[in-house]
Chain A
Amino acid sequence: MAHAATLQIQQLSKQFDVGGTRLPVLENINLDVRPGEFVSIVGASGCGKSTLLRLVIGLDTGYDGAILLDGKRIAGTGLERGIVFQEHRLLPWLTVRENIALGLVNAGVSEREQREAIREHIVLVQLEGFEDAYPYQLSGGMSQRVAIARALVNRPEVLLLDEPLGALDALTRAHLQQELQRIWLREGITMILVTHDVEEAVFLGDRVVVMQPRPGRIKEILDVPLAHPRERGSAEFAAVKDAVLHSLLGEEARQAA
């Protein structure tokens, strides 16, 4: 049984039908993600990065090309791929514990193991004491942590993160970036993060994929050869961040940034 799968995206293209005309959203996306790797995807709005994630998770269909997990084509959604959305999407009528349990509904594990798993993941995201709270009682950051726990509880091969920290304030964002890194280091799950925040992308990723819009294409893929823990203030960090910005915005804009 594979325990951290390889994700291969081959010549992926997608078009939307808008008022009769076909609008290309993604064009010829090629990406190989190694097991346990953390890949960040950055790009301006409209470059199709969210659509890419939705195709990988199986919520959107109808594309040309192939998405392979361990060599097998994906078909619709599945528990081997998890996702954290920008909105936490916690079911408001369920407690924190019950929300996390949603990930285990179809996991086919025993009651005891379910309880164990939930407890383990509450500890992982550091929300002990809040098991019986309702979403309306939680802050944005806490809710997103529950969403992360929910996505991880059934140990997916790949975790997709669609701008998960975009709706949070800067302080919470920084804190959760640390958390995400800690969780990733601990669990070793392949993670693909989509973000518009370049610093976040460089802080978390092993590689940064830079996309450009209209149609969405990969412009280049940059390696982040920095050790963990990453120091945001270090010169090496700034250099990588600069390189990404340069790729993203072009020379003039980088001078201004």
Chain B
Amino acid sequence: MQTSLSTPPWRYRRQLRGAAFPLTLLLLWWAAYATGWTESPLLVPPQKVVETFWRLAAGGELWHALGASLLRDLAGLAIGSMAGVAAGIVLGLSRWSRLLVGPTLHTVKQISLFAWIPLIMVWFGLGETSKIVFVSLAVFFPLLLNTFEGVGSVAPEFVEVARVFAFTRRQLIVRVVIPAALPSIFTGFQLALIYSWLATLGAEYMLTSGPGIGNLLTDGRENFWMDQVLLGVVIVGVIGFIFSALAGLLARRLLRWRGPQANRS
């Protein structure tokens, strides 16, 4: 039902309604603290979270931790994506590879990601390498599978066009297969972004050496500093949001040939 009123309250109705719920929660939270609803040290006022933010930001610890985490994330993302896309193309193109290696890969993919951690810890130690290997692994599988599916579902009609114009195999792959598979690959990449951030945090929980947002959170938990933990949660969420937004922008640029219908988030 459309209202054609465009006077101020109605034009921003959607945004107001959206903000209503979180604002109400925020208000309740502050009220709970102000009225001393509970004695528990877990209840910290909203202001304290902001104070902690300024403290850590000014002191540089926040940026140090954030930088370390992001570095691991991006390193793992880069390694895992390249490996995943390459493997996906090889598998998608060759029926033999698919039959030989496919089932094994599908089975290995099923192994819960975090189950690899003990093995990785034994093989790669307790330092940075392990963390980056873990993040790469988390990124590898979604990209592999989506690339594989994208390549495998290239329309035979397009392949015939390439044959009619006497394309070499290399030309076929570069000019037809990869662009046709790009939407799928991109979906895999978006998934990989989410997983990479998840894996970075998980790695930091498990392998606690070195700085990182995960360590910030763990410290806060161990010391019962609710404000730091909440700050951590917010930061983790904000980074997640930024990643999504960047991916969306990239998608709109790379996939603009799909037309307006496809670029809905």
> Do A and B share a direct contact in the complex (Cβ within 8 angstroms)?
yes
Residue positions of A touching B, CB distance < 8 A: 57-59, 76-79, 82-83, 85, 87, 89, 91-94, 102-103, 105-106, 134-137
Mark B residues whose CB is within 8 Å of A: 157-158, 160-161, 163-168, 171, 175-176, 179-180, 182, 256-259
Contacts A105-B175, A134-B259, A136-B259 given: A82-B164 contact, CB under 8 Å?
yes
Chain A residues, CB < 8 A from B182 = 93
Determine if B164 and A77 form an interchain contact, defined as CB atoms under 8 angstroms apart: yes
Give Cα A35 to B165, complex, Å. Answer: 22
- Contacts A77-B164, A105-B165 supplied; 15 other A-B pairs, CB < 8 Å: A57-B164, A59-B160, A59-B163, A77-B165, A85-B157, A85-B160, A87-B157, A89-B158, A89-B160, A91-B158, A92-B258, A93-B179, A93-B257, A102-B161, A106-B166
Chain B residues lying within 8 Å of A87, measured Cβ to Cβ, are 157
Main secondary structure of the interface of B (DSSP, over half): helix
Chosen A-B contacts, 19 in total, with CB atoms closer than 8 Å, are A59-B163, A77-B164, A77-B165, A79-B165, A87-B157, A89-B157, A91-B161, A91-B180, A92-B257, A92-B258, A93-B180, A93-B182, A93-B257, A94-B179, A106-B166, A106-B167, A106-B168, A106-B171, A137-B259
Q: Is B164 touching A59 in the complex (CB atoms < 8 A)? A: yes
CA distance A92 to B179 in the complex (A): 9
| Distance of A85 Cα from B157 Cα, bound (Å) | 9
Contact between A89 and B161, CB atoms less than 8 A apart? yes
Q: Which residues of chain A have C-beta atoms less than 8 A from B176's C-beta? A: 91
Q: B257 contacts A134, CB within 8 Å?
A: yes
Q: How far is the CB of B200 from chain A (nearest CB, A)?
A: 33
In the complex, A83 Cα to B166 Cα: how many Å?
12
> Do A79 and B158 have beta carbons less than 8 Å apart?
no
Residues of A within 8 A of B167 (CB): 105-106
Report A-chain residues with C-beta under 8 Å of the C-beta of B165.
77, 79, 102-103, 105-106
Nearest CB in chain A to that of B183: its residue: A93
Distance of A58 Cα from B165 Cα, bound (Å): 11
**Is the Cβ of B166 less than 8 Å from the Cβ of A78?**
yes
Minimum CB–CB distance from A96 to chain B (whole Å) comes to 12
